[in-house]
Amino acid sequence: MPSTFTDTDSYPTRRQALASIGTIAASALSGCGGQLPGTTPTRLDAETTVETDTDPRVLWEYPPREGDVDGIGYAAVEVDRIIQSGGQRPQMHLTFNSTIGGIASSSPYEGYQPDWFRFRIWPPTAYEGRISHEVRVSPPGQWEEFSTYYDIQSSVRRTSVELRNVHTQGTIQIPAVFDPGAAPLPERLHCSFIVQASRPGFFGETVRVAGQDTLPLGNE
């Protein structure tokens, strides 16, 4: 049977025209918002620096710096001090540091905000207190979606510190204490991080960076 065409088939009704305008407006607004955080993030590399002087730390800068140009931000696991004298139980004071935006960034990397980040630390498999040690973490305070948890992998207890729904530029420091219990402090500590950050706007982008390294502690 041949098709028949009416005026309503050839020309949109007023309701259809208004619906089309609404669809175009919605598309334009979504374009101005840039890429939605958490969708198909671009993977970036990080430049790793291990410092073993007075205050040992593992520092990840991303993306890798070119000369004196700052990137999006950096992450670090820092040893503030080690207490193992005066009859006290040995303890190691740490700080997890995530810094994005502000003074840590420069063109063309300005405008990024952290969506979430996670740090993880664990001692070597040969460490005497690989299961029995504890890591006590102080919450950063103003964020509700903060969590600390651990898992056992290859007979080693791994501690994870995670903060979600950040969306605030600047430095976030999370202090912690590594308590070895009856064991001595480890000679080194394995450290890893992963962070996701987004830049809002028409040319917005979501990036994700991860890194892992070993921090010597000088406790031989």
- How many C-beta atoms lie closer than 10 Å to residue 219's C-beta? 15
The DSSP call for residue 8 is H
Whole-prediction pTM: 0.79
Number of H helices, E strands in the chain: 2, 12
Q: How does residue 202 score in pLDDT terms, banded at 50, 70 and 90?
A: confident
Q: How does residue 142 score in pLDDT terms, banded at 50, 70 and 90?
A: confident
Q: How far is it, in rounded angstroms, from Cα 106 to Cα 144? A: 30
Which pairing describes strands 42-44 and 47-51: parallel, antiparallel, or unpaired?
Answer: unpaired
The one-letter code for the residue type at 172 is I
More confident residue, 200 or 4: 200
SS3 label, residue 178: strand
Among residues of the chain, what percentage have pLDDT more than 70?
A: 80
